[in-house]
Amino acid sequence: MPRRKTPTGWRGLSYLLVLLVIYLFYHLIGEQFRELGGGTKTSQERVPCTVVKVYDGDTFRCRLDNGEEVKVRLIGIDTPESRRNRKAYRDAKREGKSVEEIVRLGKKASAFTKKLIPPGTVVYLETDVQVHDRYGRLLAYVYLPDGRMLNEVLVEEGYATVYTFPPNVKYSERFVELQRKAMKERKGLWAEGM
């Protein structure tokens, strides 16, 4: 029995339904983030957060104005692991390095981040489409008190690599360009074979 073709009207309706779902999902996520910030900010605005603890080069904990503490993971970048864990072993195998070398580089990246955002620093958080990762961490572009984006600084100075996953791709092209430049100039960990 031959397959029937889908009428053009159904394709159009299906397309509109997909767009509606994306629109609603985006706005629900934005509402969730506004609630985190305790105000009426849109997800495009930056929410202040006071750094409590830096875990490693791309993850830290901070306190929002409403007193809630959140664990933040920097969007679009990745730093080497600063301790032995499953990811450190996976990275070592993928990159052909020892776990000790991965951890050594990770500790340098972590120290660089700790220097930029020591506890007590007020940073400003900006989200993208997806607000949390599968571990419940808040995904954010983080702005330093001087206005620079921490995510960019880490890539630009050679302490992080680009690690972009859709739908959070707002600054991915900038990150890629900064990484190319850092690699070419052998900045930060690129000088040590990252």
Catalytic residues: 73, 81, 137
Per-residue DSSP letters for the chain? -PPPPPPHHHHHHHHHHHHHHHHHHHHHHHHHHHHHHTS---TTSPEEEEEEEEEETTEEEEEETTS-EEEEEETEEE---SS-SHHHHHHHHHHT--HHHHHHHHHHHHHHHHHHS-TT-EEEEE--S--B-TTSPEEEEEE-TTS-BHHHHHHHTTS-EEE-BTTB-TTHHHHHHHHHHHHHHT-GGGGGT-
